[in-house]
């Protein structure tokens, strides 16, 4: 495990911290768990980079799908789940289309997001989506700008969804409540807000 250097200055301690990779960081059960959830051979990545080369997120962000695949091979659970880049995949499946090892990196990402959620590690903005769905039935609810455009296009101002049929909202909330999704989201958001 990483050794503390014992500098009195915390900034110095952070700057010069032990960056070795230790065997203890690797959790083979994590690789297996992701494998079973994603149903793809996540341990077979040979780091060719076809995925990152195909990824629309990569040229616009720090997200590197290949890096997550490498962490999967090595079982680096904490490093994978705490990296906020985990949430930058658009789930477009371009990488899955092209991976020469026939791995589905997209499904690996989704499996890791599920595990991260179980451990309460989710960026707050994603959880706001949960709250939005709970309130309106939509991840991205309709708004006045949209309504105006719809009317201009000759459409009803609200689509034929929960916006037009609010009587279906309780059903949706029941599903969300059944899995305690909202409850958990609220808790994580509150926690995050408490810590600023």
Task: Give the residues lining the site for ligand SF4 (CB under 6 A).
Answer: 45-51, 54-57, 65-66, 69, 89-95, 99, 101, 103, 105-106, 109
Query: What's the chain look like in SS3?
Result: CCCCCCCCCHHHHHHCCCCCCCHHHECHHHHHHHHHHHCCCHHHCCCCCHHHHHCCCHHHCCCCHHHHHHHHHHCEHHHHHHCHHHHHCCCCCHHHHHCCCCCCHHHHHHHHHHHHHHCCCCCHHHHHHHHHHHHHCCCCCCCHHHHHHHHHCCCCCCCCCCCCCHHHHHHHHHHHHHCCHHHHHHHHHHHHHHCC
Residue 34 contacts which entry, ligand SF4, another protein, none (Cβ below 5-8 A, type-dependent) = none
Which is nearer to another protein, 15 or 98 (by Cβ)? 98
CB 96 to another protein: min, Å:
10
Which is nearer to ligand SF4, 49 or 141 (by Cβ)? 49
CB 77 to ligand SF4: min, Å:
18
According to CB under 8 A, which residues from 102 to 121 bind another protein? 102
Among the candidate windows 71-79, 96-104, 112-120, 143-151, which touches another protein by CB under 8 A?
Answer: 96-104
Site for another protein (CB under 8 A): which residue of 21, 22, 46, 165?
Answer: 46
Among the candidate windows 41-49, 132-140, 169-177, 182-190, which touches another protein by CB under 8 A?
Answer: 41-49
* Tokens representing residue 56 in the block: 């629309």
Residue 106 contacts which entry, another protein, ligand SF4, none (Cβ below 5-8 A, type-dependent) = ligand SF4
């Amino acid at each position: 495990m990483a050794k503390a250097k014992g500098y009195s200055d915390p900034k110095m301690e952070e700057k010069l911290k032990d960056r070795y990779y230790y065997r203890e960081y690797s959790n083979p059960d994590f690789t297996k768990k992701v494998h079973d959830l994603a149903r793809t051979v996540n341990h077979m990545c040979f780091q060719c980079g076809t995925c990152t080369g195909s990824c629309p997120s990569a040229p616009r962000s720090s997200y590197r799908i290949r890096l997550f695949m490498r962490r999967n091979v090595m079982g680096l659970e904490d490093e994978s789940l705490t990296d906020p880049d985990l949430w930058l995949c658009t789930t477009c499946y371009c990488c899955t289309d092209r991976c020469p090892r026939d791995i589905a990196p997209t499904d690996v990402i989704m499996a890791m997001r599920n595990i991260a959620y179980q451990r309460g590690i989710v960026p707050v903005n994603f959880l706001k989506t949960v709250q939005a769905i709970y309130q309106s039935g939509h991840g991205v609810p309709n708004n006045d700008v949209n309504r105006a455009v719809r009317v201009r296009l000759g459409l009803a101002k609200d689509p034929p969804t929960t916006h037009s049929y609010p009587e279906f909202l309780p059903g949706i909330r029941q599903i969300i409540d059944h899995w305690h999704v909202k409850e958990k989201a609220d808790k994580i958001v509150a926690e995050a807000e408490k810590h600023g």
